[in-house]
């Protein structure tokens, strides 16, 4: 995507993207709400303190960008592709490969520069490899073949398009709706088991804004659903999402102070009240877009365990407020208010990885297998109850 551009031109373009936010003199003198657009066109509301945090974050992004450009100059444009241990290297690991892998993990947790994000995501997530296994015209042929087809999935997609980030200067236009529709409809035919699930509209929309092209957004969505996230997360019964919620509840008890878990239990708080949206929309509806994309930077490189790290961090960061909550509604309000104003991704990710503690993919997988039987039994029981009420309908 960037092969024809000079690195200096890219660096200049990247620097020009990151604007310093300047609230009016009246806003600076009073703690009132101000509105502004972020890098991806979303309207953000916050006070002057929030603006100051965003400016500090954007300065950090500038400095981080210099590190990436320096590495491209010294190691080569695609140096980050030389980080994975292949079968040929298992017996004789190259020191440079290990160094690159360690360097890359640290860099990604500090954030990928916005102008490099599309190609780094596409390469490291496995999307480029997945795309290479099919004919070059796959996406175009798919969109043309299904253009006029009507299914329950296409009907739900059409219903959700105007509700996907309403007010966004591009997504909420006929052009934006058409592009998002093509991506979602194409994937609904690629994987009929998933088809379409509410939540994917927000994920695909944000992918479109970052990747810039429908085809790249389509392949990123494919690798996300087929390789990165847990199976069955977006199927009809959302069994995978239910499993994730049960795993998270266990982790909340183990990773957060016992008094917090006990207090939430005493309030009969169900984690699904906040986590369903987190796991289905991958925080795209909950966190500011620039913070969400920092989470996705790590998600596409380290895998779905990142979602648990971030979810736990949100609860840990709000521990003191949650401990004095008296009702379930209070808990939801505290969490929602916190996530909507989490403009500093470094603060969130520092807690997520330094204070939550380590979690391996293997450990998470074991927890999922442990929870699956109970989830499937519960869903089966629910289906039987519904069938007894609506015997003539297929549920």
* pLDDT value of position 296: 98
pLDDT at 395 exceeding the cut of 60: no
Of 199, 251, 240, nearest in space to 221 by CA? 199
Tokens of 273: 């009240």
What are the phi and psi torsion angles at 243 (to 5°)? -65, -45
Burial class (CB in 10 A: 0-12, 13-18, 19+), 130: middle
What is the CA 341 to chain-centroid distance, rounded?
Answer: 17
For 43-66, write each residue's pLDDT tens digit: 888 888 888 888 898 899 899 999
**Cβ atoms within 10 Å, residue 278:** 27
Confidence label for 111 from pLDDT (cuts 50, 70 and 90): very high
Would you tell me the crossing angle of helices 239-255 and 361-389 to the nearest 10 degrees?
A: 130
Residue pair 189/148 in contact by the 8 Å Cβ criterion: no
Per-residue pLDDT of 354-385, as tens digits, reads 999 889 889 999 999 999 999 999 888 877 77
CB 120 within 8 A of CB 80: yes
Task: For 30, list phi and psi in degrees, rounded to 5.
Answer: -140, 150
Q: Residue 301's CB: how many other CB atoms inside 10 A?
A: 21
- The pLDDT value recorded for residue 392 is 60
pLDDT band for position 93 (cuts 50, 70, 90): very low
Closest CA to 37 of 173, 170, 174, 226: 170
Pair 315, 342: CB distance under 8 Å:
no
| The pLDDT of residue 25 | 39
| CB neighbours of residue 380 within 10 Å | 11
pTM score, whole prediction: 0.88
Strand partners, 36: 44
* Cβ-Cβ contacts under 8 Å for 274 (sequence gap 6 or more): 332, 335, 336
Mean pLDDT value across the chain: 87
- The dihedral built from the CA positions of residue 323, 327, 332 and 337, taken in this order, carries a sign that is negative
């Amino acid at each position: 995507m960037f092969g024809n551009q000079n690195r200096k031109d890219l660096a200049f373009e990247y620097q020009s993207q990151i604007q310093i936010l300047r609230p009016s003199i009246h806003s600076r003198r009073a703690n009132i709400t101000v509105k502004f657009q972020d890098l991806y066109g979303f309207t953000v509301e916050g006070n002057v303190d929030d603006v100051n945090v965003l400016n500090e974050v954007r300065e950090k992004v500038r400095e981080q960008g210099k590190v990436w450009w320096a590495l491209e100059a010294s190691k080569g444009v695609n140096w980050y592709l030389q980080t994975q241990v292949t079968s040929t290297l298992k017996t004789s690991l190259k020191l440079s490969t290990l160094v690159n892998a360690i360097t890359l993990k640290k860099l990604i947790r500090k954030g990928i520069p916005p102008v490099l994000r599309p190609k780094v995501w596409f390469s490291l997530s496995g999307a480029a490899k997945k795309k290479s296994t099919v004919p070059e015209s796959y996406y175009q042929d798919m969109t043309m073949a299904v253009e006029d087809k009507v299914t329950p999935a296409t009907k739900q997609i059409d219903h959700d398009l105007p509700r996907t980030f309403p007010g966004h200067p591009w997504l909420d236009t006929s052009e934006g709706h058409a592009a998002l529709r093509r991506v979602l409809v194409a994937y609904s035919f690629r994987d009929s088991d998933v088809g379409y699930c509410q939540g994917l509209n927000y994920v695909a929309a944000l992918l479109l804004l970052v990747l810039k092209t429908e085809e790249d957004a389509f392949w990123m969505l494919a690798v996300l659903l087929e390789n990165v996230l847990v199976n069955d997360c977006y199927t009809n019964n959302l069994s995978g999402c239910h499993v994730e919620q049960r795993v998270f509840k266990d982790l909340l008890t183990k990773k957060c102070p016992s008094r917090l878990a006990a207090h939430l239990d005493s309030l009969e708080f169900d984690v699904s009240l906040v986590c369903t949206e987190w796991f289905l929309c991958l925080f795209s509806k909950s966190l500011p877009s620039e913070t969400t994309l920092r989470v996705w930077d790590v998600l596409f490189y380290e895998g779905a365990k990142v979602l648990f790290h971030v979810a736990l961090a949100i609860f840990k960061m709000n521990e003191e407020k949650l401990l004095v909550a008296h009702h379930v509604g209070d808990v939801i309000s505290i969490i929602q208010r916190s996530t909507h104003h989490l403009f500093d991704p470094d603060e969130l990710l520092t807690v997520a990885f330094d204070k939550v503690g380590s979690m391996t993919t293997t450990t998470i997988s074991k927890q999922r297998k442990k929870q699956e039987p109970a989830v499937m039994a519960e869903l089966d029981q629910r289906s039987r109850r519904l069938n007894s009420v609506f015997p003539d309908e297929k549920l």
